Structure 1
C-alpha cells in the first residue's frame, strides 16, 4: 500500500516541475503534463492488475483517481493570444504563472496532509472501536464465567 501511495505521490508532485518551463513554451509544458498523466494512468492500471478484484473503491483507488484529476488540472495551457494582449507579456504572464504555482502547490500540500491524516485516522478509529468491543466481550465473558463457577461451586 505504501509503495503505491509513495509512487503516485512522486508522479503527481513531478507535475509541479512544469512550472519551471517558461509560460511561453506551452507545448513543452503540455508534453510533460501529458506524459505524467499517461504515467499515472498506466501505474494505476498496473497496480489494479496486481490487487484482487473488488466491486468498491479502496482508499488507494480514491487517492489515485484524485491524483489523476490533479494532473489533468495542469493541462490548461495559456493561450498564445494572451501574449499579445499585454504591453509586457512575459512579465504579466510569468506573474500569473507564479501565482498559479503558489496556489496549486499549496493545494497539493494541503491535499497530501489531509490524505495522510485520513489514512492514519480511519484505521485508528476502527481499532479503538474494536478494542472497546473486546473489552465489553471480555467483561461479559468474565461475568458469565465467574457466575457459572460460583454456582457450580455451591452445587458440589
Structure 2
C-alpha cells in the first residue's frame, strides 16, 4: 500500500493596493500578489490538468467580479539526486475582501487586513508554509490610503478547519492568514465628532447662569442640549458597524447624554422639592460637583481612550510581527521576475 506524500507549499504575498476599508460593512478593496511554490519531478512544461497543484482557495473574497490572474513557471532546483524542479505559481487577485474588524477602541483602533488561504487538499497531503521574509506592503498601497497608518511587515497566522459531513469521514484542512497591520488615523474623528460633542455638552453649564427663579429657562436650555447630544449620537452611529459591544466613541457619547440628563434632573427636582432659598444655596455646590465630575470624566477618557490606545498604535506599527517557527530546508521562493512575464522560463497562463 503506497503512502500519501505530504507536499510542502511555500507562500508569500505582496499587498499592492489596500483601499476603501469599510468599517461598517467589514470589508476592504485590494490588489494582492500571491506567490506559492512546491517541489515536483516534472519533465518539460507544466500541465495544469496532469500535474499536481495545491488547489488554493481564498476564503474571504467577496466580490463575484473579483479577478484572479494565474501564471505558473517551472524553475530548476539544486537537487541533482532526486531531480526535483520548483514549480512557482504567481497569482494576482483584484477585488473585495471580507474582514472581521474589532472596533472596540474606535477611533484609536488597530486592525489586521489579510487574505485567508486554504486548500482543497487535507493536511495529510499538504502543508502551507508562510515565508514572512518575502512578504511586504508596496509603497503604492501606503501612498494611496489617507485614513490608515501601516506597518510594512506582514504577520502570519496558522490554523486548521474541519468539515463535518453526515456521510463522509471529516478531514482537517490547512488555513493560513497573511495580514497587513494598520492603525486608524484618528484626527478626523477627533475634529469632527469628539470635539463638537465636547463643546455641545459643555453648554449644559450655561443653564446655571440663569436666575434660580427662571427654572423653565434652565430646563429649556437643558432640553436643547440633550436633544442636540442625542442627534450627535445618531451621527456617530453612522460611522460604526452593528457590534454587540460599545466602542470608546460610543462610551463618550453615552457618557455625555447621561451627564446632561443628570443636570436636567437636578433642575427638575429642585423646582418641585426645594424652596427658592435652599435651591439658590445648593445650586453653587451642585455646579462645582458637576464641574468636577465633568473634568474628571474627561481626564479618565483622555488617559484610557486616547493616550493608552495611541501608544498601543505606535507600538503596533513599529513591532516586528511574530509567526510560528516552521523549519524547512527547501529552497526559498525567488522574488525575481514576479511581474516580468516576458522573461519567464516554462510557464502557463490561466485566465
Higher strand share: 2
2:209 counterpart of 1:20: yes
Unaligned runs of 5+ in 1: 84-88, 145-156
2:285 to 95, 99, 107: 99
1:131 Cα deviation from its structure 2 partner: 4.1
Deviations 1:86-124 (A, max 9, x none): xxx43x322200000001001101111111122121231
1:21 Cα deviation from its structure 2 partner: 1.1
Matched residue pairs, number? 134
1:75 Cα deviation from its structure 2 partner: 1.4
Structure exhibiting the larger radius of gyration computed from Cα positions: 2
2:312 to 118, 125, 136: 125
2:271 to 65, 79, 91: 79
**More deviation, 116-125/96-105:** 116-125
Q: Which residue of structure 2 lines up, in the alignment, with residue 152 of structure 1?
A: none
User: Equivalents in 1 of 2:273, 2:200: separation in Å?
Assistant: 31
**Partner SS for 1:65:** helix
Deviations 1:12-56 (A, max 9, x none): 11001111012222211111111111100011112322x142313
RMSD: 2.6
**Partner SS for 1:79:** helix
**Partner SS for 1:54:** coil
Q: Which residue of structure 2 lines up, in the alignment, with residue 65 of structure 1?
A: 254
Q: Which residue of structure 2 lines up, in the alignment, with residue 111 of structure 1?
A: 297
Unaligned runs of 5+ in 2: 1-188, 328-351
State TM-score, norm by structure 1.
0.73
User: Equivalents in 2 of 1:16, 1:68: separation in Å?
Assistant: 14
User: Equivalents in 2 of 1:24, 1:30: separation in Å?
Assistant: 12
Higher helix share: 1
Q: Which has the higher contact order (CA 8 A, sep 6+)?
A: 1
User: Equivalents in 2 of 1:6, 1:107: separation in Å?
Assistant: 18
State TM-score, norm by structure 2.
0.35
